[in-house]
Amino acid sequence: MRWTNEAVVADFLIPDDDDHMLRVQFRDEVIVRILDEMALSTEHESTPKEGLVANHFAYRVEGAVFESTQSETWRSTRSPANHYRFVTGWACVDVLSASEPSFEVINRVRISERDASGTTPQM
């Protein structure tokens, strides 16, 4: 995950695809939380755990503790904001944003393909 002047960007591995990744971008002000799935499972949500689908990882969540505990000022100035949750096999990324994310399948760049400065060559 990285922040640029234009967006917050997260690249996710695609199971059984060594050549591509899924890029998710938010182009608005956001609040982000990254945590282990185990920590998420111990969070006491006031809503039932409904809508989770096996082998899916992107959700729009309503009524979660993460959203309700943000400042009233942020919630009122970014209304209507949505809560997006990305659940992988290792972690959970929660994002609050007034804009919808964009999704794009990109070519996967391996670490060995980066140059000595740590940047990825242009393709």
Low-confidence ranges of the chain (pLDDT < 50): 123
Domain count, the chain: 1
Strand partners, 26: 8
* pLDDT of 7: 92
- Whether 75 maps to a domain, the answer reads yes
Please answer whether residues 60 and 50 qualify as being in contact, where contact means their C-beta atoms are separated by less than 8 angstroms.
Answer: no
- Whether 118 maps to a domain, the answer reads no
Nearest to 95 by CA among 35, 13, 21: 35
Q: 86 in helix, strand or coil? A: strand
The range of the structural domain enclosing residue 79 comes to 2-112
* pLDDT of 45: 59
- Whether 96 maps to a domain, the answer reads yes
- Whether 117 maps to a domain, the answer reads no
Q: 121 in helix, strand or coil? A: coil
* pLDDT of 123: 42
